[in-house]
Amino acid sequence: MAQTERRDAPELPDFSLLKRLARDQLIFLLEQLPGRKDLFIDADLMSPLDRIANVTILKQHEVDKLYKVELKPIFSSSDQLCFLIRPRIQTVKWISDLVNSDKAAGRFRKYKIIFTPQKFYACETVLEEQGVFGDVTTDEWNFYILPLDDDILSLELPEFFRDNFLEGDQRWVTTGGGALHLLQSVYGSFSKVYGIGRCAKMVYETWREQMEDGDQRTKQPEFAKVFLIDRDVDFITPLCSQVVYEGLVDDIFRIKCGSVEFGPDVTSSDKSIKVMLNSQDKVFNEIRNEHFSNVFGFLSQKAKNLQTAYDKRRGMDIQQMKAFVADELKGLKQEHRLLSLHIGACESMMKKKTKQDFQELLKTEHSLLEGFEIRECITSIEEHINRQVSMIESLRLLCLLSLTENGLLSKDYRSLKAQYLQSYGIDHLLTFANLRQLGLLVEQQPGETLTVMESRVGKLVNDKTVGKLTDAFSSLAKKSNFRALSKRLALVPKSGDEYDLRVPRDMAYVFSGAYIPLSCKLIEQVLERDGWTGLEEVTRMLNGHEFAVTAVGNSSEARTKTDAQRIILVMFLGGCTYSEISALRYLGKERGCRFIILTTAITSSARLLEALLDNHA
Amino acid sequence: MAFVTANWNPLGEAFYRKVELYDMSWKLKESLREYLIAAAPYGGPIALLKGYQGRSPSTRPQLEIFSASGVPMASFPWKSGLVKQLGWTVSDDLLCVQEDGTVLVYDLLGGFKRHFSMGNEVSQSQVMETKIFHSPYGTGVAILTGALRFTLATNIDDIKLKRLPEVPGLEGAPTCWAVLTQDRQSKVMVANGYHLFILDNTSCTSVTPPGLSPQASSILHMCVSFSYKYLAILTDSGHVWMGTSNLKEKISEVDTNIRNPPKQMAWHEASQQSSVVIMWDRLLLVVGECKEIIQYPLDSDSVLVPEMDGVRIINETHHELLQEVPGACEEIFKIASMAPGALLLEAHKEYEKESQKADEYLREIKEQNLLAEAVKQCVEAAGHEYEPETQKTLLRAASFGKCFLSNFPPELFISMCRDLRVLNAVRDYTVGMPLTHTQFKQMTIQVLIDRLVHRKLYPLAIEVCRYLKTPEYQGVSRVLKHWACYKVQQKEESDEVIAKTVNMRLADASGISYSEIATKAYESGRTELAIKLLEYEPRSGEQVPLLLKMKKSPLALSKAIESGDTDLVYTVVMYLKNELNRGDFFMMLRNQPVALSLYRQFCKHQELNTLMDLFNQDDNHQELGNYYVKASYNEPRLEARVALLQSSVDEFNKAKNEFAAKATEEEMRLLRFQRKLEEAKGEPLLGFSLHDTITALLSVGLHKHAEQLYKDFRVSDKRFWWLKLKALAEKGDWDELEKFAKSKKSPIGYLPFVEVCIKHQNKHEARKYVSRVTPEQKVKAHLAVGDLQSATEAAIERRNESEINTVLSRCSATTDVILVERLNRAKATAAKK
């Protein structure tokens, strides 16, 4: 049952090159400030940085002490301070205050700010306004992409989602373009680009501009096709409970930058253990894409096999034993360790997930996706809120309800919101404002039919100049049209059929056979049709902004390695979930191609909603 | 041709030659000695300043700039202070060092560029002597002040003044000094009488050149080679000491027998026989390492210009190059040479004469298998020759020899032909750049094109680029851009004409930045032209900075937005913020939603008040309401908090958001209630949600108050029952719980009662409620308290298959045999139905 790769699956490009490039540049930048220095690092850059250059490397380049940026006064005796930060106004402000207080104390130090992945003018403005522009030197570390695994590349920019979709701040668009440009310059140019979403289109545009500016090398491409997709094209998928092993681990333990910390309840000892979760972990690699219900059986089988392997020792002569200890034992021990960890994790998840609450939650979720017994669903959501089960989970269900039902009836909208406020406080008034703005939780608008909306959107798209300006706000009045989409794309398999989760039939297996992720379905359809033809109605319901471009004057199509033709880069703008990755891996296996995921960050329902909270904390 | 060797002089094993470069076309009115003079290396321009000694302050001296061939390029009366020294930078700018330490920078057509000072200390104690030097870091200036201290700047484009330490025992001007670059640092070597010192940033070290003849009592002159590797010292005993500039090694020492101080000295670094060229009033000596000397008499005042591969000698009428005869030339032209190149040249000559001797010569070369060598020699020698005729002869010979070689790579020959064509073009006296091939290779084609552009020789520069097939971006486009920048400064033509001409010329050139050209236009005061030119700029991002500079802010803002680059939008927004008054600024943002949302982001972090003003102006009551709610979080005092919430209620009302208004009002009520209770009972409640408040009240037994909230805030029955159930169980107040259960019919049923009790491990209490659970949930309830027997009964009674299965799954096969049996039987009947 373990998923085995098809034999003809194309080889993936070697992404460790990206790490090396980033490391070399970082070292170069550190050397620009010769002498011993203290390094301050943005908290969320710590883990990514560790993947690129560990403490030893930093120490080799005269970094004395490492600090986390905490936006508090610092105690450093070094004469040279180096800051490695994301270009955020807040952090820059903090640095300015620091410089100013040093100045007031008559202390002279050298300051260097390294922005990653790029500088923003706004940050420099802050330095200028605070009067410290001349006191600090600034630099850019173009660390766009962190390879999390063989097929997952991440920009590690969780704030992309909120900034871009909620605040209408398009700063990060250039970053997205930059990342694609980087990939292209290292791995060769793409022959075909598809995309959907306003942000996707903008990213493509900036990328194209960078492409035109730079030199055009015609290198043998290592992957030929790119698919860009906005997160707001599909909000439903990330809001569903994840039931594939990797997704579930993320939901429960939160995978951070490709590694997870298993607490004492998993490790069955008194300390936590940090584990890297990627294809290097052989046990994990075999179960990551499996539906949770299969995992336990698989693990116990694995344990038995392991035992047999250990048992081989008996009846060995000295020579054989020597060979066994030298060659196999270490591997077995390693596997043993991992196996016991995953079994521990499994148990801990079992405890949480087989509880009645979770089962009922799943049932509600599936009813919502299928669109029946909506009243019962509302009641159970209400109970969920009333019992104060979980702030985020309740919100998640509310959003799912609104998305699948194209908004709530006025009465329900008010009463559920009121209930929620009673449970979790008035602060969430702002959260609701945000959700409404994004179209995640809205009131059904009486009198406004679909056609009116459509003609309005249509007008915006046609009139280019108006389009550019108002595009940013067209999403405000967006409707999800989930029912119609679901019907058209057959996202919800007919209920009643038994779905054997051991032998996945389609991508729906990642949601227990209840729902095929919309994002992945779109990708499948577009790749199959080599464009958007035949999907006009779908794109209209998704608010348009679709595009498909073949590289101009590019005869490389013919020259392209056939392998490269079967490697597809999918870029999620605003984050993607592990379930989607699993679904795409499945699709790849079915079609004999491989998908590489490039995402602004790994997301999950909790992360997505937490980004939209505006409460006191 | 026949007399190629006529101007050769032997020096040791090698030969030296003096090649005539130009007849100077300048008509100098006076002898060269009357001028302050500076000639740039690499065949650069020559600057002359007459009457520099400032004998009469009333007469204005004339500053003149000539090409190396003496063609006048600029001339203007000098109006500033007393000039001590002229010099050229690596980028063809003229430096004029004044007595007060001010340095004026002019371009080579006499246009003033900028000025800078060498510091207070210099201006106070005045400049005594100056040397201008070149290093890998650019052009530097070293000054000896009247206070006998040295001040030095290594790179005039990035001035960092260094004041060097004092020289011990120095009482008057040192006899001579020089600047050298060693260990990535500029140092000064000073001779005071017989003593020699090296000054660097921190110290002054006394040094002695190894093996310097002891009979001398003073060092008269010294010079450092072009590469800073070698040093030559002339002493008053007439000895020339030659060695490395780090003073570790002596190469040679030669007695010149001349004891008076020379006018100038220069190193000639050569491949075979390096030498020092020393000039006195009427005599020029070439002193070789081999201790031989060549003497040249001089008829008039001259100036030496050291080059990397020779020394140029300029006098009033002539311009000559003195250099060691390059190896290839020597091999070929040396009398009775049997070198392969020489034989090939001879063979070709005979071939031209249609003589069969050609074959003999060729055979001789081929027998030694040296034909390739011969071709190479001829090509190389052609590169070192000045006369096009000689070049041609040599190249023809090479081409001839090439015919007899099967796979001789052609690049060498081809590139030499190309290089020579370019070199001959720039050596023409109208251009006047007497570059040798070695110098040309060293300076690169890019720099050559720059130099042509500096001289405004645009057509020639473009021809050179095209001819050498320089990539367009570095070649033609760059030249065109410079041309356009120059063009837009021509005042006599109208904006339309210029814009049109520029666009026409630049139309098909790639990689042209119109914004740079437009900037130039703007700088020369032609705003309208600049705007016209900007229209041609394809990248809107490039247009923005200039538009801002020209105060065309609305246009800049829309261009920035068009570019899709938010960073650029930010730039403009921040600029506008400082430029406009607040009202106008907000009005402008109002029409540009993208800019507005960016600015909002900025305000959120930097200026919360501005954010409020923004919403106010837009009458965005919804956002204002949200703003106040947010502001209330950070308000510690209750009154202020309530006041803020009141403002938000007002705003929400204006925004017709009744729901939010009501919710906020309730929050205010809740806050007041919490405060009242806090004061009365000492329970910390402030800031809790309604739910949490009730929980807190129940957990400390304030049931009445909890009830009051329940009623006042119309909490749903279900919630309240859940709440109370949980709170009581949490406290273990089972009696109260029982009372509560009986108070009226539970809106949430009784299964939760069972479950909550079980959760708190109280089976006994749980059992009390089982009987009240609805039939549908009975099975669950029984199972929850672990009563399999009753669960079985209930399940069988209800004949519900799934429930039977649930019970079955809980039965163990060993202990509950009877139950299992019953259940299975019931299952069978249920299934049948």
Q: What would the pLDDT profile of A95-137 be if each residue is shown by its tens digit?
A: 999 999 998 988 888 899 999 888 888 888 888 888 898 889 9
Long-range CB pairs of B785-793, under 8 A, 24+ apart, other chains included = B785/B754, B785/B758, B788/B816, B788/B819, B789/B819, B792/B819, B792/B822, B792/B823
pLDDT of residue A6: 58
To the nearest 10 degrees (0 to 180), the angle between helices B582-590 and B608-617 is 60
Percent pLDDT > 70 in chain A is: 88
Q: How far apart are CA B460 and CA B816, in angstroms?
A: 107
Chain A stretch 149-168, residues whose beta carbon is closer than 8 A to a beta carbon of chain B: 163, 167-168
Sheet holding B112-117, edge to edge: B83-88, B94-98, B102-106, B112-117
Q: How far apart are CA B568 and CA B575, in angstroms?
A: 11
- Does residue B192 contact residue B154 with C-beta atoms inside 8 Å? no
**CB nearest A93 (choices: B605, B626, B713):** B605
Q: Which residues of B touch A129 (CB under 8 A)?
A: 606
Distance of CA B183 to the CA centre of its chain: 25
- Does residue A148 contact residue A154 with C-beta atoms inside 8 Å? yes
Q: Is the pLDDT of residue A554 over 60?
A: no
Nearest to A392 by CA among A423, A346, A371: A423
Q: How far apart are CA A197 and CA A321, in angstroms?
A: 61
DSSP designation for A476: G
Hey, are the CB atoms on A426 and B574 less than 8 Å from each other? no
Q: How far apart are CA B786 and CA B761, in angstroms?
A: 12
Q: How far apart are CA B67 and CA B48, in angstroms?
A: 11
Residue A87 C-alpha, separation from nearest chain B C-alpha, in angstroms: 12
What is the average pLDDT across A163-167?
Answer: 86
Q: How far apart are CA B601 and CA A89, in angstroms?
A: 9
Distance of CA B237 to the CA centre of its chain: 53
pLDDT of residue A578: 94
At A581, list the tokens: 């990755």
- Does residue B646 contact residue B668 with C-beta atoms inside 8 Å? yes
Lowest pLDDT segment from A15-19, A49-53, B259-263, B481-485: B481-485
Q: Are A167 and A135 in the same domain?
A: no
Is A458 touching B (CB cutoff 8 A)?
no
Percent pLDDT > 90 in chain B is: 22
Q: Are A23 and A66 in the same domain?
A: yes
Q: Which residues of A touch B597 (CB under 8 A)?
A: 167-169, 472
**CB nearest A122 (choices: B600, B602, B687):** B602
Q: Kindly report the length of chain B.
A: 833
Q: Which residues of B touch A121 (CB under 8 A)?
A: 567-568, 570-571, 574
Strands A567-573 and A225-230, by their bridges, are parallel
Strands B310-315 and B318-324, by their bridges, are antiparallel
List the alpha helices (DSSP H) in B618-702.
Answer: 621-633, 638-654, 658-681, 690-699
Closest-CA residue in chain A for B661?
A429
Domain coverage including residue A268: 251-353
The end-to-end CA distance of chain B, in Å, is 125
Q: How far apart are CA B682 and CA A569, in angstroms?
A: 61
pLDDT of residue A5: 56
Q: What mean pLDDT value characterizes chain A? A: 83
DSSP designation for B627: H
**CB nearest A202 (choices: B564, B719, B748):** B564
Closest-CA residue in chain B for A417?
B659
Lowest pLDDT segment from A67-76, B50-59, B443-452, B495-504: B50-59
- pLDDT single digits (tens) B254-296: 988 888 889 999 999 888 889 999 999 889 999 998 989 999 9
Q: Is the pLDDT of residue B831 over 80?
A: no
Establish if A245 belongs to a structural domain: no
Nearest to A402 by CA among A362, A421, A366, A374: A374
Q: Is the pLDDT of residue B687 over 70?
A: yes
Cis peptide before A117 (omega within 30 of 0): yes
pLDDT of residue B790: 80
Residue B589 C-alpha, separation from nearest chain A C-alpha, in angstroms: 12
Closest-CA residue in chain B for A89?
B605
Hey, are the CB atoms on B601 and A414 less than 8 Å from each other? no
Q: Is the pLDDT of residue A314 over 70?
A: yes
CA dist B112 → A57, B61, B74, B533, B661 (Å):
51, 17, 12, 26, 70
Q: Answer with the one of A142, A169, A202 that is the final residue of a domain.
A: A142
Q: Is the pLDDT of residue B692 over 90?
A: no
- Does residue B332 contact residue B24 with C-beta atoms inside 8 Å? no
**CB nearest B570 (choices: A121, A418, A469):** A121
Q: Are A124 and A164 in the same domain?
A: no
Closest-CA residue in chain A for B784?
A356
The three state secondary structure string of A208-275 is HHHHHHCCCCCCCCCCCEEEEEEHHHCCHHHHCCCCEHHHHHHHHHCCECCEEEECHHHHCCCCCEEE
- pLDDT single digits (tens) B209-263: 888 888 888 889 999 998 889 999 999 888 999 999 888 899 999 988 888 889 9
Hey, are the CB atoms on A422 and B713 less than 8 Å from each other? yes
Is A109 touching B (CB cutoff 8 A)?
no
Q: Answer with the one of A142, A163, A193 that is the final residue of a domain.
A: A142
Could you tell me how many CB contacts below 8 A there are between chain A and chain B? 121
pLDDT of residue B500: 82
**CB nearest B567 (choices: A121, A126, A168):** A121
The end-to-end CA distance of chain A, in Å, is 45
Alpha-carbon radius of gyration of chain A: 26
Q: Is the pLDDT of residue B741 over 90?
A: no
Q: Are A81 and A122 in the same domain?
A: yes
Q: Is the pLDDT of residue A222 over 50?
A: yes
- Does residue B231 contact residue B189 with C-beta atoms inside 8 Å? yes
SS3 A85: strand
User: B189 forms bridges with which residues in the sheet?
Assistant: B178, B198
Question: DSSP characters for A163-223?
Answer: IIIIS---HHHHHHHHHHHHHHHHH---SEEEEESHHHHHHHHHHHHHHHHS-------S-
DSSP designation for A572: E
Establish if A574 belongs to a structural domain: yes
Establish if A8 belongs to a structural domain: no
Residue A203 C-alpha, separation from nearest chain B C-alpha, in angstroms: 10
CA dist B245 → A181, B222, B265, B309, B814 (Å):
50, 11, 15, 18, 103
On the CB side of B655, CA atoms within 13 Å amount to 24
Degrees to nearest 5, angle at CA B43 with B40 and B47 = 40
Look at the block and give the residue holding tokens 């967006």. Answer: A478
Hey, are the CB atoms on A426 and B570 less than 8 Å from each other? no
Closest-CA residue in chain A for B666?
A426
Residue B546 C-alpha, separation from nearest chain A C-alpha, in angstroms: 17
What is the average pLDDT across B437-459?
Answer: 90
For A404, residues 6+ apart whose C-beta sits below 8 A from its C-beta are A236, A368, A369, A371, A480, A482, A483
Q: Are A74 and A37 in the same domain?
A: yes
Q: Answer with the one of A101, A126, A142 that is the final residue of a domain.
A: A142
Look at the block and give the residue holding tokens 């909002």. Answer: B600
Lowest pLDDT segment from A218-232, B15-29, B406-420: A218-232
For residues A455 and A383, the model is more confident at A383
Is A358 touching B (CB cutoff 8 A)?
no
Hey, are the CB atoms on A121 and B713 less than 8 Å from each other? no
Q: Which helix (H) or strand (E) holds B486?
A: helix B476-487
For residues B3 and B699, the model is more confident at B699
Q: How far apart are CA A199 and CA A168, in angstroms?
A: 10
Q: Is the pLDDT of residue A473 over 70?
A: no
What is the average pLDDT across B82-97?
Answer: 90
Q: Is the pLDDT of residue B420 over 70?
A: yes
Q: Which residues of B touch A171 (CB under 8 A)?
A: 566-567, 598
Q: How far apart are CA B683 and CA B670, in angstroms?
A: 14
pLDDT-derived band at A422 (thresholds 50, 70, 90) equals confident
Hey, are the CB atoms on A168 and B565 less than 8 Å from each other? no
Q: How far apart are CA A176 and CA A178, in angstroms?
A: 5
Degrees to nearest 5, angle at CA A277 with A272 and A283 = 100
CB atoms near residue B394 (< 10 Å): 29
What is the average pLDDT across A317-336?
Answer: 82
Hey, are the CB atoms on B626 and A616 less than 8 Å from each other? no
Is A382 touching B (CB cutoff 8 A)?
yes
Question: DSSP characters for B497-563?
Answer: HHHHHHHHHHTT-SS--HHHHHHHHHHTT-HHHHHHHHTT-S-HHHHHHHHHHTT-HHHHHHHHHHH
Q: How far apart are CA A232 and CA A576, in angstroms?
A: 11
* Every domain of chain B and the residues it spans: 31-192, 332-549
Nearest to A207 by CA among A281, A137, A144, A277: A144
Lowest pLDDT segment from B126-130, B609-613, B692-696: B609-613
pLDDT-derived band at B79 (thresholds 50, 70, 90) equals confident
DSSP designation for A509: G
Q: Are A326 and A338 in the same domain?
A: yes
For residues A228 and B336, the model is more confident at A228
**CB nearest B605 (choices: A90, A168, A470):** A90
Degrees to nearest 5, angle at CA B692 with B689 and B697 = 125
Strands B219-224 and B275-279, by their bridges, are unpaired
Nearest to B780 by CA among B798, B758, B761, B806: B806
Q: How far apart are CA B7 and CA A361, in angstroms?
A: 103
As separate numbers, helices (DSSP H) first and strands (DSSP E) second, chain A gives 29, 14
Q: Which helix (H) or strand (E) holds B456?
A: none
Amino acid at A447: G
Residue B672 C-alpha, separation from nearest chain A C-alpha, in angstroms: 14
pLDDT of residue A113: 93
| Number of domains forming the structure of chain A | 4
Q: Are A474 and A363 in the same domain?
A: yes
Q: Are A419 and A325 in the same domain?
A: no
CATH no. for residue A596?
A: 3.40.50.1910
Q: Which helix (H) or strand (E) holds A359?
A: helix A356-370
Nearest to A177 by CA among A151, A148, A209: A209
CATH class of the domain at B31-192: mainly beta
pLDDT-derived band at A213 (thresholds 50, 70, 90) equals low
Distance of CA A185 to the CA centre of its chain: 23
**CB nearest A472 (choices: B594, B691, B715):** B594
**CB nearest A426 (choices: B622, B667, B716):** B667
**CB nearest B605 (choices: A89, A168, A209):** A89
Q: What mean pLDDT value characterizes chain B? A: 85
Question: DSSP characters for B281-329?
Answer: SSEEEEEETTS-EEEEE-SS-EEEEEETTEEEEEESSEEEEEEEPPHHH
Hey, are the CB atoms on A170 and B594 less than 8 Å from each other? yes
Hey, are the CB atoms on A93 and B601 less than 8 Å from each other? no
Hey, are the CB atoms on B566 and A414 less than 8 Å from each other? no
Amino acid at B29: K
Q: Are A348 and A360 in the same domain?
A: no
